[in-house]
């Protein structure tokens, strides 16, 4: 049995529904990718344009980053999919644990130098 595992096979074992689902998934991936490129372009433009004040640029880029982070997680890393409760839980734990640490470090090391 184990010897046959390395043999190539010509006919896919997927059903028609599964193939359709994969096609749909592919479309979603490409859309998400295009969306993210657009967000990145916006960020670049915001930095490059001199007429946009830095007071606006910084929070704007941060907002874009948050949106893109969510898109990455949910679309590229499949957190939106079914049966992804465990990866979801781990990602959420990581965010919950690291956010206060990062904020504390920014405040302590960046502002008071301790």
Partner 1 sequence: MATATATNTNKSVLWDWLTTVDHKKLAVLYLIAGALFFLKAGLMAIFMRIQLMSAENTFLSGQTFNEFVTMHGTIMLFLAVTPLIFAFMNFVIPLQIGARDVAFPFVNALGFWIFFFGGLLVSVSWFFGGAPDAGWTAYVPLSSGEYGDLGLDFYVLGLQISGLGTLVSAINFIVTIINMRAPGMTMMRLPLFCWTGLVTSILIVFAFTPLAAGLALLMLDRIFGAQYFNPGSGGNPVLWQHIFWIFGHPEVYILVLPAFGIISEVIPAFSKKRLFGYTAMVFATLIIAFLSFMVWVHHMFTVGIGPITNSVFAIATMAIGVPTGIKIFNWLFTMWGGKIIFNTAMLCASSFVPTFVLGGVTGVMLAMVPVDYLYHDTYFVVAHFHYIVVGGIALGLLAGTFYWYPKMFGHKLNEKLGQLMFWMFYVGFHLTFFIQHILGLIGMPRRVFTYLDGQGMETMNLVSSIGAFMMGAAIIVLLINVVYSAYTSKRVTVRDPWDARTLEWATTTPVPEYNFAQTPQVRSLDPWFYEKVHGDGTMKPAEPMDEIHMPNGSILPLTIGLGLFVWGFGMIMMQMENPLIPEWIVIGAGVIITFGSMLLHSIHEDHGYHIPLDKIKKIEKEVS
- The binding site for partner 1 (CB under 8 A) comprises 1-3, 5-6, 86, 90, 93-94, 96-98, 100-101, 104-105, 108-109, 112-114
CA distance 26 to 10: 22
Nearer to partner 1 among residue 5 and residue 53 (C-beta):
5
Smallest separation (angstroms) from partner 1 to the CB of 85 = 10
Nearer to partner 1 among residue 22 and residue 94 (C-beta):
94
Cα–chain center distance at 84:
15
Smallest separation (angstroms) from partner 1 to the CB of 99 = 11
In angstroms, what CA-CA distances link 23 with 36, 74, 78? 20, 18, 15
Q: Are 108 and 114 in contact, with CB atoms under 8 Å apart?
A: yes
């Amino acid at each position: 049995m184990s010897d046959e595992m390395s043999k190539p096979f010509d006919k896919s074992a997927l059903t028609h529904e599964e193939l359709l689902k994969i096609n749909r998934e592919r479309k979603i991936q490409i859309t998400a990718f295009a969306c993210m490129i657009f967000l990145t372009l916006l960020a670049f433009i915001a930095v490059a344009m001199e007429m946009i004040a830095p007071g606006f640029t910084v929070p704007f880029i941060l907002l874009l980053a948050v949106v893109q982070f969510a898109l990455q997680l949910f679309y590229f890393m499949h957190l939106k999919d079914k049966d992804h409760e465990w990866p979801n839980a781990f990602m959420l734990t990581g965010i919950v644990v690291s956010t206060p640490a990062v904020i504390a470090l920014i405040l302590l090391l960046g502002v008071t130098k301790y």
